[in-house]
Structure formats: C-alpha cells, structure tokens
Amino acid sequence: MFRELLGRRIIDRKIEKNLVEMSLIPSKYFEALYIERRTEIASPVFDLLEEEEKAKRGELIELLKEGIVDTKIEIVKFELYERLVAVTSSMKEVRVSITENKLRVEEEEYKELVNILKDVSKLGKIMYEMVRGLYQEYDIVEGKMENLRNMSKKITAHITKFRFHMDEEAEKFDFEDSNVLISNSIRESIQSMVDVGEKITGIIDEFDFNR
Amino acid sequence: MVDVVLVILVIASIILAFAIGTNDETFAPVVGVKRLSVRSAVIIGAIIAVFGAFLLAPKVSDTLNNDISTIQISNEIVLIISVFISMAICLILASIFGLPISSTEAMVGSILGLTIARGETIIWSWKGMGHIFFTWAISPILGFIGSFLLMKLMNKILSRTVKGLSGLETSNAISGSLLLIMVVIAGFSRAGNDISNAIAPIYPLFQNSDTSIFYQRIPMLLGGVGLGLGLIVIGWRVLKSLGNDVVELTPESAFITQASSALITLVATMLGIPVSGTMILVASFIGAGYGSKKTINLKSVRTIVIFIFLTPLFSGLCAVGFYYLLRGVL
C-alpha cells in the first residue's frame, strides 16, 4: 500500500533505462560477431554482453513485477520486454549456429553470411533508436520504422536459403543444410527486431494524444 | 423506555451509516486507474471515513426536516426508523449489485411514500419537489458537460506537451497524485456530510455541556465506524464496478472526473443551484470517457440509470411497509 501511495515513477524510470539499454545489446552483439568472424579472433565481448543482457533481463522482470501489471501501459511495456527478449535470444542462436556450422559451409557462402551480420547490427541500432524514440519523441519513430522495414527487406533479399513456414516451399530446402540453419537463425533475429518495431508503433498508436 | 429508544436510534443510525459506506463511490476513480488496489482503497477510505466523521462538525440541525411534504419525520420515532431502514436497504441492495445510487434519492422516495401513505400533502412547488426534480435533472447534465469539456482541454494540453512514453508516465504520475489528494479531501468532506444524515436523530441526545468533547462526538465516531465498515464489507463492489466497468480510465481522465465533479459541486453551491454529488460523479465518468474518445460500457450505464429511477420508488414502498410493521410492534 505504501508503494501504491508513493506512485511508481521511480520504478518507471528504471524500467525505461533498462529497456533502452537492453535494446542496444543486439546491435553491439552483431557488430562483435561480425568482427570476430571476419578476423577469426575470439572476442571476450560476447561474455560481457551476455552477462549484461542477463542482468538487465533479471532486473526488468523484477521491476515489471513491482507494478500491479494490469494497467494498459504496464501490459504493453511487458509485451515490449518479451519482444526484446526474443531478439536477444535469437542473437545468441545466430552465434551458436554460425559457430557450429562454419566448417560445413562453403567459404564464399560463409563470407556472404558474415557480411549480412554487419547489416543486422545496423538494423539493431535502428531498433534501439526506436525504443529510445518511444520514450523521448514519438515523431522520430515513424521514420525509423520505415527504415527498419526497408532495411530488413534488403537484408533478407540476400538470404536465399532459409526455412519457409509454408509446407510446399519448405520441401525445397534441406533442413540439415548448414547454410539453411545459419540463414534461419539470422532471419529469425531480423524478424524479431521488426516485431519490436511493430510493437513500438502499436504502443504509440495507443498512447499518443495526437492520434 | 428512553434508553430503549436511544438504543434503537443508535442501531438505526449505525445501520444507515453502514449503508451509506457501502455505496460510497469516492475512491472509484483511484481504483479505476489502478493507483490503488480495491483493498487499499477501502482500507484508506475507511480510515478517512472515521477521521472525517469524527473531526468535521456535523450539520444536523435540519437534516431530518424537509420541504417536500407536510410530513416532518423528526417528529415520530417510527417515521425516522422507517426512513432509515428503507434508505439502508436501498443503498445496501444497490451496493451488492455494485451500483452507485444517490442517498438523497432514497430519502426523498421514503418521505414521499410515507406522505402518501399517511394522506398528507406533497409540496410540488419550486421550494419543494420542484427543487428536487431540478437537482436530479441538472446534476447529470452539468457533470457530463463539465468533465467532457475539461477532458477535451486536458487532451489538447497533453497533445502539445507529452512527446513520448516518458512524458506520458510523468503526466500519469502527476495526475495520479493530484487525484489521490482530491479523493482524500472528498472522502473527508463526504464522511462529514453523509454522517450528518445518519446521526441526526441521536446527535442531540449526546450534546450535554457537562460532558466531555469526546462524549459529545461519540455519534460521529459511531457513524464514521459504520461508514468505514460499510465501505470495507460491501463498498468495494461499487468501487470496482464504477472504477472499472463504466469506462476505461486513465490517470488524466480520472483526475478530470474528480476535479470536474468537485468544481461543479462548488460552483453550483455558490450559485445556489442544488446538485447531487453521486449523479455528478457518475455523469462525469461518462463525460470524461466521451471526451477522451474511450468506449463507454452502455450496458453498465443503462443499469445505473434504471436503478436511479427505481431507487425512489423502491425506498418509498419499503418505508411504507416498515412504517406499518413498526406501528404494529411499537
């Protein structure tokens, strides 16, 4: 009751800080992954970023639990958190799949996939700017969403081998193929970033007084 | 015999105070925006009810006298108890269904019922029922228009100042805090005012210059405790229903609801226009909902309106029934 009376602004600010910081992790992670794969020098950054992501996720879940979690604004923040967790989970999947399947992919194809990581990092940066825009300036977000969509389309156009969800298309690919496995994980990561962007535009539609 | 009468009156007063507490919708906006849980709201509301009733001076001099008919209920104990019990039944029944009703309506219905039953005269002029009908007609209109316009103004200000979710949360926090302060003040004032009705018959019996101030304030304390208990035992239903079912509230619209109903009541009182607090608050909810383009639950509104029309009728019938029953017993 004491917390109810004092209000939740301090908690809200901590949630904001953690969500914004957490949204920057995928961009840094893909950047590091790109550099590591290009240089073939093992980087300690992943451990640090994974630790940071784990800490932020833990802190956020505790902070989100502090509320009554049934006001609309708290629900949408939780949904945004879930989508960000989907991004961070998929980024780790990319690293695992690229590490495990590296030797089974042709060199040229591997290089192409690694180059895509650089663009995915940029996509992550746009996602981070959208999360920041959500909190600070709704107007920025609309343009960023356009960028996010266009860039994700551009990147996925380069990923030619991936698993289709539709059955007839799925038959075209061998799911044991290493290239398909890496491509799938990258596409999943890109899709999860677009999902974050769509969630943000949805939140703005709901809470912007000008709409 | 005097002691028996006193005991009966004290019990009737506590029951009415309890019933008023069950239908106290003051904290509904705070519950609606989840600033307080229903549990916290009823506990705080009960504490405020006890302090408000105990500390604020009651205005009981002419509470039980009326201008709407030739019947004066303070003249007969059977009349007082009939009115009190019928009011209590109406309020408690409405509260069980989670519906806010006006205690004034229940009282007027009881008095009219008894007036007709005893063959006395209803005063239909402006000073009598004309005044009451005007109150019932003007209160929802003023409540709706006031909160609708204030909500539009608030939205205009917010659309220019709130640029992101951070700004929105700051606005929510400020509105929520202001709302809480307003509700606490309203709770204090309501406890002081509403208890006056319930303790009117017993208040003079405790006013003796030889006794301590504490003794003289016992009726208010009893009324406050009754009101607080009513809020805790059944009142949560009304808070939950009005706060959540009629319209989806934001801290801003809840603040507007509370502020506009307080402002309208104040202005109307200053201008000498009679208004009903409950009707204004309910209409303010709807006005703020329309003003912020939120969906109004018309089913809940329809039920509230039906109960508003049924309350005087039901309380009148109850009062007549109890009047003949008590006359046979006492």
Q: Does B40 have pLDDT greater than 70?
A: yes
Average of pLDDT values for B215-236?
90
Give the distance, in angstroms, between the CA of residue A6 and the centroid of all CA atoms in the same chain.
34
Contact B28, B236 (CB under 8 A): no
Nearest CA in chain B to A138: B164
Q: Does B74 have pLDDT greater than 80?
A: no
Q: Does B37 touch chain A (CB under 8 A)?
A: yes
Chain A neighbors of B172, CB-CB under 8 A: 73
% helix, strand, coil for chain B, step of 5: 80, 0, 20
Tell me the nearest-neighbour CA distance from B101 into chain A, angstroms. Answer: 27
CA distances from B106 to A207, B128, B140, B181, B194 (A): 41, 16, 17, 29, 13
pLDDT at res. A7? 60
The per-residue pLDDT of chain B, averaged, comes to 85
pLDDT at res. A21? 96
Tell me the nearest-neighbour CA distance from A182 into chain B, angstroms. Answer: 36
pLDDT at res. A168? 63
Q: Does B61 have pLDDT greater than 60?
A: no
Identify which has the larger pLDDT, A126 or B275. Answer: A126
Nearest CA in chain A to B171: A9
pLDDT cut 90: percent of chain B above it: 25
Residues 216-255 of B with CB under 8 A from A: 248
Q: Does A4 touch chain B (CB under 8 A)?
A: yes
State the best of A4, A74, A132, A210 to mutate against chain B, taking most chain B CBs within 10 Å.
A4
DSSP letters for A108-160: HHHHHHHHHHHHHHHHHHHHHHHHHHHHH-HHHHHHHHHHHHHHHHHHHHH--
What pLDDT tens digit does each residue of chain A (211 aa) get? 655 666 677 888 999 999 999 999 999 999 999 999 989 888 889 999 999 999 999 999 999 887 655 678 888 999 999 999 999 999 999 999 998 888 888 888 888 889 999 999 999 999 999 999 999 999 999 899 999 999 999 998 888 665 555 556 656 666 677 888 888 899 999 999 999 999 999 999 988 877 6
Fill in the DSSP letter of residue B122: B
pLDDT at res. A173? 61
Contact B219, B266 (CB under 8 A): no
Average of pLDDT values for B282-301?
85
Q: Which residue from A182, A83, A67 is spatially nearest to B33, judged by alpha carbons?
A: A67
pLDDT tens track for B129-162: 888 888 888 888 988 999 999 999 999 999 899 8
Is B165 in Cβ contact with A70 (below 8 Å)?
Answer: no
User: Does the predicted TM-score (pTM) go above 0.80?
Assistant: no
Q: Does B2 have pLDDT greater than 70?
A: no
pLDDT at res. A175? 63
Place of tokens 């969403």: A145
pLDDT at res. B55? 82
pLDDT at res. A60? 94
pLDDT tens track for B186-211: 888 778 777 877 887 788 778 777 88
Tell me the nearest-neighbour CA distance from B36 into chain A, angstroms. Answer: 6
Q: Which two tokens stand for residue A72?
A: 């609309």
Q: Does B158 touch chain A (CB under 8 A)?
A: yes
Neighbours of B6 (CB within 10 A): 14
